Structure 1
Amino acid sequence: MADSLSPECTPLKHEYDSCFNVWFEEYLEPALATNATKEQRTAHYQRKAEEFQTKCGKVYAEYQNCIQNAVKQRGIEPLLQQAREEHPLREPLPPAQPPTKDSK
């Protein structure tokens, strides 16, 4: 795992990365199971979202707070704002719909 932007944030980053990696591996399990129904997958993903908040949410918030403070202390905040203004994040495009018999 890589170090954080700021050395004082690195322990939190490593703790969060470890928590996320364990959580994410379990999150993917039903996507890999071919016999799970859509409803079972949806229920699983909802449980996993709640689990993420319970297990990893606190350390994620602490890490984000640490990073935000480091960004302010280093004077990087104006550069980030400029980048956001020049290249704003956009909503992803909706998934492409498969062609129908009538569209061929």
Structure 2
Amino acid sequence: MESVRFFLPRDVTATPNVKSDIFALGSAIYYIMTGREPYDALTDAEVAACYYSGGDFPSVDSIPCGQIILGCWRGGFNSADKVFRDLMGKHKALSSA
């Protein structure tokens, strides 16, 4: 089972699925882009409260790929392939800027 910072808010007995994997992928991308886990200064219980209280996630406004991360956390992607394609599009846009 994924740790709380990578855990899609759901019944803990529910089988992980594509949505939970994509949520965890968003947290992994956050970690790659920032060098720290989401809400690294909070306890696990505080993180769970943020996530379960309506999807209160760390700010991604100043993070490259922030909207992609948020899309992963908010269920905006149906496949990891779509996340990958959006990341590649962001990379191309940054490379040509």
Q: What is the TM-score with the length of structure 2 in the denominator?
A: 0.32
Q: Which has the larger radius of gyration?
A: 1
Task: Decide which structure has greater helix share.
Answer: 1
Q: What is the TM-score with the length of structure 1 in the denominator?
A: 0.30
